[in-house]
Amino acid sequence: RKEVEQDPGPFNVPEGATVAFNCTYSNSASQSFFWYRQDCRKEPKLLMSVYSSGNEDGRFTAQLNRASQYISLLIRDSKLSDSATYLCVVNLNTGGFKTIFGAGTRLFVKA
Amino acid sequence: DVKVTQSSRYLVKRTGEKVFLECVQDMDHENMFWYRQDPGLGLRLIYFSYDVKMKEKGDIPEGYSVSREKKERFSLILESASTNQTSMYLCASRPGPQETQYFGPGTRLLVL
């Protein structure tokens, strides 16, 4: 079983739609959590950190459920420019150095 | 803004050549990483360094070595390039263990 699992998609949605991505992690030593965005043939870039209380950045909302070991990302009012791969990322508290990247979820937003 | 730069965006090498990939960060970050990314396999950690002159093997270190003589610079070395090392190589840095990583633009390496 992978330490961080994501639905690979692709998710095909029309502009203006709301789309949700889920991510599960298996290591109980997981300490900090992030969503990254990666455009085709580009490097991953931080989209947002994920906090236990949930956090929002414009159209993006991230949630963390430590009990269920589950992270989510909600995108409201999807734009064409949101088309990308979204990576779920977990830092482990095991000596402090290991980071686990999910394989990513592809999103295509269509006009 | 954090800036992570990589020495080349595209590189073509021949089998058996020694290849150097350089990464420089300008934010005094402690930790630095080298990954490769291949379609369907996601990001795989090759090596990381948590301080100057310190290095740790990642998940796929075979065929690679690294050097970190200065805090800002982390080099990846392919001792004898092989065709299965054709890939996108990404360098990253972060301030400390629970912080986010910042990536360079990547180097697309083709080994013929």
| pLDDT of amino acid A1 | 72
Question: In this predicted model, what pLDDT tens digit does every residue of A59-100 receive, in sequence order?
Answer: 999 999 999 999 999 999 999 999 999 999 998 877 657 889
Residues of chain A contacting residue B56, judged by C-beta atoms under 8 Å apart: 97
- pLDDT confidence of residue B42: 86
Who among B43, B56, B102 is closest to A101 (CB)?
A: B43
Test mutation, A41, A91, A97, A100, chain B, max B CBs within 10 A: A97
pLDDT digits (tens, 9 = 90+) for B82-93: 999 999 999 999
For the stretch A47-59, pLDDT in tens is 999 988 889 999 9
Residues 6 or more apart whose CB falls under 8 angstroms from that of A68 comprise A24
**Could you give the CA distance from residue A32 to residue B65 in angstroms, rounded to a whole number?**
29
Residues of A in contact with B59 (CB under 8 A): none
Instruction: Please say if the pLDDT value at position B74 is more than 70.
Output: yes
The sign one gets for the Cα dihedral B51, B56, B59, B60 is: positive
Q: Which of B42, B90, B100 sits opposite A49 (nearest CB)?
A: B100
Distance CA B66, CA B26 (A): 19
Taking only the tens place, the pLDDT of each residue in A1-20 is 788 999 888 999 999 999 99
Taking the C-alpha atoms of residue B94 and residue B100, their distance in angstroms, rounded to an integer, is: 6
**What pLDDT shows up at residue B75?**
97
User: Chain A: nearest CA to B34, how far in angstroms?
Assistant: 12
Contact B38, B74 (CB under 8 A): no
* Shortest Cα–Cα distance, B43 to chain A (Å): 7
